[in-house]
Structure formats: structure tokens, C-alpha cells
Amino acid sequence: MTAVNNKADPDEICNLVLEVIRLAKDENMARKLVDAGVIPHLIIELKNSLPNGQGINNIIFALGLLSHDLLSASSIVRPGTARQLIEISKGAQAGPARACLAWCLGRMVQSDDIAAKFIEDGLPELLISWITVSDDRNAQRYCAWTLGTLARNDDLVDQLVEMKAVPVLASHLNSITAPQTNPDPEDLTAALFAVGRFARTIKLSKALAAEGSIEPMVQALKATLDPKVLNWSARAIGCHMRPNSSDMAKILLRAGAADGLARLPSMVPAEETEALGSFAFAIARFSCAEWSPGTRQQLVEAGVVDALLRALRAAASVPATDPQVHAELALAISFLGDVGGSAIRKEVQDSGGVDILKQLAMQEPPEVRKACETAIRSTTGNVFSRIGASAKAGLNHDWRGGCPEYHIAHPDFDAWT
């Protein structure tokens, strides 16, 4: 800080910025640096470096690393630094530079207001252009991810859709899953995340499907062994459905989504609980997409119910590793056992599912216990108690978006020289 204020030797300042980068790669140290007031001094140095561009890349890396929450992001965006970064980005020609700039700006999207400001300043058009014209996979990865981070609510997504983001993201997803490619799992996860974030309504899901989003999502779910890809492909598939979206459910089932979901629990290690949460989320969405036994029966025939019970058994054997995921698995049983799912209710009971739910309810925190009790009522109760349990499960489900934030690893800083 003193070095910046006293306009010290540029080499000394460069070394200090590199030290900030080294420290800020640790999240706890990043918080301490923010608390110590490093960000305003980096902003001053960014402005000082703009005329000649010396060391500007390192300052941008440092700002990206320090932008770890709303407070730190706001302290960067408020003085107009983000707009400066967007202007700098417009002149970036190399793939590594574009990747790093997209990541840095994406890290700052910590609120709806910041996302709206970035959209107003023209960031989406820049990202869409880079995805379209760039042949650098890293640049495309971080552009897709940042577009996904901007898609925080329906109004923001509508603005992004007007900029033709949907066909660009669907085309990008198809290009990295083409048979002749060998996609990096990080490329796939970023593309799937972006598609899932945009699928906020039935209308948007149909628009994505019309542009070809279904096949690559299902292909990734059925073929990959990578837990992150399994997580985000299941999540994106679930995001494509809403209540009374039977057309979308049928398209996904015809593409083989049920078979892909059925294999997921046996493909992920026990510690990869996020993928199991997305698995449960997709089952819940399938169950609500069509209020008749048809969809549920196809899930049974594909082995999804068996897979769900296996996941519950694993949760019961290692309690409280991730209570939220355990609750989602229990609520998925509740959705499946809703009115019209008599075959599934029988299968759950015959397979010992009720006993597993009771065991899990005794071991877990209150929110999981409530979810297990709801699932038990959905499976064993009379029609009135099942309706009540189904309504309760529906109230606990995230219908607004359903696609959480994705904290992507930072790009290779050394590639931007």
C-alpha cells in the first residue's frame, strides 16, 4: 500500500502485486487482504498502469482473486473499475487474455445489481462475440461460465436472450461434445452450467432444446466418468423441466436421460455429494413435469428408483456428510411416490426404502428428519396424507431457477504474458 501511495519503483510494485496474487489464491488469505484494504490500492495502480499497460495483467488477476464475495466485488465495481476492465477487454485479441478477463469479470458478479450493470455496460455482447469467433477453448470456457453467472433472475435472462445468447450457448455445448472432440471436463461443466442457468422457464427450455441442447446434455450424463460433469449434466437436465412440462420430459426420456440418471450414483465417489444432489433434483423435476404415472414408470424401468435407494443407503451409512443433499434425496422419493405413482411406492416399500428413510431420520439434523418423514408419508400414507406430503415437498423445492453458483477454478495466469 505504501509503495503505491509513494509511487515506488514499478518493479517493486510489480513484486508486491505478485505477492498479493500468491496469497490471494488461498480464500482465507484473500479475505484478510480485503479486510486490510488492498483493493483500493490495486485500483489506483490499475489506473496508473493504463497508459503503458505495464503489469496490468497481474493487477487484474489480483482483483479477480480478491473478488470473493459481495462486499469485495462491490468495492471494485463501485468506483467504475469494472467498466474500465470491460473497456480493456474490448482490445484483447489473444485467447489467454480473454479467458483471464472473462474469469475476473465473472468473479465480480456477486449480486443482481452488479449483473445488471455489467449487462448495461456491454459485457454479454463481448462474451458472445468471443465464444463465436475464438478458437481458444479456455476463452470459450470462461465466457460461457460468465454468461451463466450473469443469468441470475428472469429479467436478466430475458435481456441476455435478446442478445442471442441461447443459440450461442447451445451451439457451444454441441461443439465441445462432438464425436471428434475430446473435451476437457472443465469445458463441459462450464457449458452445462451456463445452459442450466438459462433454462429458467418452460419457454426458455424449449428454446434451448430447439437449438440442440438436449442431446449433448444427455450424452454427457450417459458417457462421462467425471463427477463434475455428472453433477452439472444432471442439474442442467433437471433445470429444463417445470410442472406441466410433459413435452420436455418426453424429449429428455427419448434421448436417454433416465438411463443416464440411473447410472449416476454408482459412478460417483461417496464424497461427491453435489452430484447426488443434482441427481435428486432431476428426479424431482421429472416427477413434477407430468402429473401421471407415465414418466415415473419410465424412470422405474430405467432403474432410477433402485439408484435412488442405493444413494439413500449410502447416505444412511455415512450420516451428516451433507445434510442438504440427504434431504433432497428423501424429497425425491416423496415426489416419485406422489398420487399416481403406486408402482413406485410399492417398489420403494419392497426394497426396504421406508426402513432406510427411518434410519436416516434418526441420524440426521432436523431438516433431513422432516424430509424423511415427508417421504415416508408419501410412500405409506393414504391419499390425503400423500397429497399433504406432496405439497410440502413442493414447497421445499427451488422452482425459480434451481441451478446454483459454480465456483470455477481460475485460468492459467502465466499464459497471459
Tell me the domain boundaries of the chain.
97-190, 199-410
Mean model confidence pLDDT for the chain? 88
The Cβ of residue 413 has, within 10 Å, a number of other Cβ atoms equal to: 21
Q: What is the pLDDT of residue 106?
A: 97
Confidence of residue 228 (pLDDT cuts 50, 70, 90): very high
- Out of 30-34, 248-252, 387-391, which region has the weakest mean confidence (pLDDT)? 387-391
Q: pTM for the whole thing?
A: 0.92
- Out of 100-114, 255-269, 360-374, which region has the weakest mean confidence (pLDDT)? 360-374
Is the pLDDT assigned to residue 226 strictly greater than 80?
A: yes
Question: Alpha helix locations (H) across 240-303?
Answer: 246-255, 257-267, 273-289, 293-302
Helix axes 70-77, 38-49, angle to 10 degrees: 30
Q: What is the pLDDT of residue 351?
A: 84
Confidence of residue 38 (pLDDT cuts 50, 70, 90): very high
Q: What is the pLDDT of residue 237?
A: 97
Give 371-407 pLDDT, tens digit per residue: 888 888 888 877 767 667 666 666 666 667 789 999 9
Q: What is the pLDDT of residue 76?
A: 94
When mean pLDDT is compared over 35-39, 167-171, 263-267, the highest value belongs to 167-171
Q: What is the pLDDT of residue 132?
A: 94
Q: What is the pLDDT of residue 390?
A: 67
Give 54-105 pLDDT, tens digit per residue: 788 999 999 999 999 999 999 999 999 988 999 999 888 888 999 999 999 9
The Cβ of residue 117 has, within 10 Å, a number of other Cβ atoms equal to: 17
Mean pLDDT along residues 252-264: 95
Is the pLDDT assigned to residue 409 strictly greater than 60?
A: yes
Residue 407, Cβ density class (10 Å: 0-12 exposed, 13-18 middle, ≥19 buried): exposed
Give 333-345 pLDDT, tens digit per residue: 888 876 556 778 8
Q: How far apart are CA 409 and CA 294, in angstroms?
A: 41
Q: How far apart are CA 352 and CA 362, in angstroms?
A: 16
Is the pLDDT assigned to residue 292 strictly greater than 70?
A: no
Is the pLDDT assigned to residue 117 strictly greater than 70?
A: yes
Closest CA to 147 of 179, 192, 177, 182: 192
* Residues contacting 339, CB < 8 A, separation 6+: 383, 386, 387, 390
Confidence of residue 291 (pLDDT cuts 50, 70, 90): low
The Cβ of residue 28 has, within 10 Å, a number of other Cβ atoms equal to: 9
**Topology of domain 199-410, CATH:** Leucine-rich Repeat Variant (1.25.10)
Q: How many CA atoms does the CB half-sphere of 209 hold within 13 Å?
A: 22
